[in-house]
Amino acid sequence: MSRDTLKPQNSDEKLIWVSITYTYLFWLLGAMYIVAPVIGWILLLRMFKRFVFDRQDFVMTTAQLNWIAGMCIMLVALVIAHFDYELGLPKLIKSSIGWAKGWALLAIFPLIGSLNIRPEIIYRATCIVCKHSLILFPFCLLAWVFGLPGTLYVSPLSIIGGPGPEFFSVSLYEIDPGSGTPRWRLFTPWAPALGMMGNLFLNFAMQEKDRCFKTYGIVGSLLLVLISQSRLALLCYLTLLGYFAFIRYHRSPWLYFIATPVTLLSGIFGTQAIEKIEMSIAAIKAARAGSTRVRQHLADIALERWANEALVWGHGIVERGPHLVEYMPIGSHHTWYGLLFVKGLVGAISLALPFLVSFITLIGSMFKSPVAASAMAVLLQLFLYTFGENLEILAYLFWPGLIVIGIAHKRSHLA
């Protein structure tokens, strides 16, 4: 498709197009954390209105129903845990609002994929965000060079409440306390989240048909990964490149000609290769030893308290950690540990099952359908990031990927 003809064709596409392409405007307004929940619930209510009053039919697949059921069960776990620990009605209301802005989006946006929304609109919009990132970054770099304030201001919109002021602040750069080097987070709350978005943008850039926008997307996504200085982001980036190379060349005999001697050599030199990989992993961890230590202690505390205090339903709310983990919330930096601590075994299963069903549903069409391949890449990325981030708290950023998952499920169902 040419860049002249690819335009939003209906109000749903227009809303999504504006929400993505105006990313940096929303960032300057400090409204990024607000936009996604508002867009998601508006589109859901419009979908409900069309179904009930306008008698329009929508495709709802088993995988989409699993996401809805899983996120609803999380709300049930949240309510039960609040009653178990007698946390009170105000905290229950606050936690329920947090659920509506977090976990609920993992059900809402895949369902929105059943609307008449073309994935190409999302691909193009994210490439435009990459273009804007390439234009803006030199100014952020100069801000660090000339010693300007790292954070310009915190938006007054922070009064609505959220996880922290970093979700509403406009930051030109930040200094890594461990290494003393600059990192950038741009429109995200912290640098590793920017790397996460860089990987999502790479996925969509690989699907873009226009060569110019595709170049913006690939170069811009690489920039976001590099300036985030996130180890997980770099690992995910390389994984996605390998994934898309396999999708593209899986029918080529050259792939198997190359794979045969590589497999043979792996058997011969496997032990040495594993040792080298372990040494590389140790070196990566040592590069940011403080961060690695804090993450490990957070995981240990979350698992111990979950197993001993709230095995089934969890604690209901996050709790501030001790000085040992620099007072970071227990269970942060890891989706599964966070779920076990806050929502117990029920919460962890409520996320694991939708993931599994989506993987099984799409794996059969990933080689035939580009949108299914893209959706599988989103699932792969999100799964990798469950071990380094809390998906709930960043759902307001990666929601375009959730819509692509929904579109892929719909097309797989109709095929």
| pLDDT the model gives residue 147 | 87
Structure tokens at 298: 């957070």
Question: Taking Cα atoms as reference points, which of 351, 369, 356, 353 lies closest to residue 410?
Answer: 369
Measured between alpha carbons, how far apart are the two ends of the chain, in Å? Answer: 23
Q: What is the Cα–Cα distance from 109 to 20, expressed in whole angstroms? A: 14
φ, ψ of residue 12 to 5 degrees: the values are -65, -45
* Amino acid identity, position 313: W
Mean per-residue pLDDT for 357-362?
93
DSSP 165: G
* Amino acid identity, position 116: N
Q: Which helix (H) or strand (E) holds 170?
A: strand 169-171
0.85 exceeded by pTM:
yes
The residue extents of the domains of the chain are 11-250+288-414, 253-287
Q: What is the DSSP string of 279-309?
A: HHHHHHHHHTHHHHHHHHHHHHHHHHHHHHH
| pLDDT the model gives residue 2 | 43
> What would the pLDDT profile of 207-261 be if each residue is shown by its tens digit?
999 999 999 999 999 999 999 998 899 999 999 999 998 887 666 565 555 556 6
The band of 16, judged by pLDDT with boundaries at 50, 70 and 90, is very high
| pLDDT the model gives residue 1 | 44
> What would the pLDDT profile of 172-201 be if each residue is shown by its tens digit?
999 887 777 899 999 999 999 999 999 999
Evaluate whether 407 touches 119 at the Cβ level (below 8 Å): yes
Residue pointed to by tokens 């804007």: 132
> What would the pLDDT profile of 280-299 be if each residue is shown by its tens digit?
555 555 555 556 677 777 87
Residue 373 has pLDDT above 70, yes or no: yes
Q: What is the Cα–Cα distance from 123 to 32, expressed in whole angstroms? A: 19
Most confident of 4-8, 117-121, 341-345: 117-121
Evaluate whether 71 touches 82 at the Cβ level (below 8 Å): no
* Amino acid identity, position 120: E
Dihedral through CA 250, CA 251, CA 252, CA 254, nearest 10? 60
Most confident of 268-272, 296-300, 375-379: 375-379
* Amino acid identity, position 345: L
Give me Rg for the CA atoms of the chain.
Answer: 22
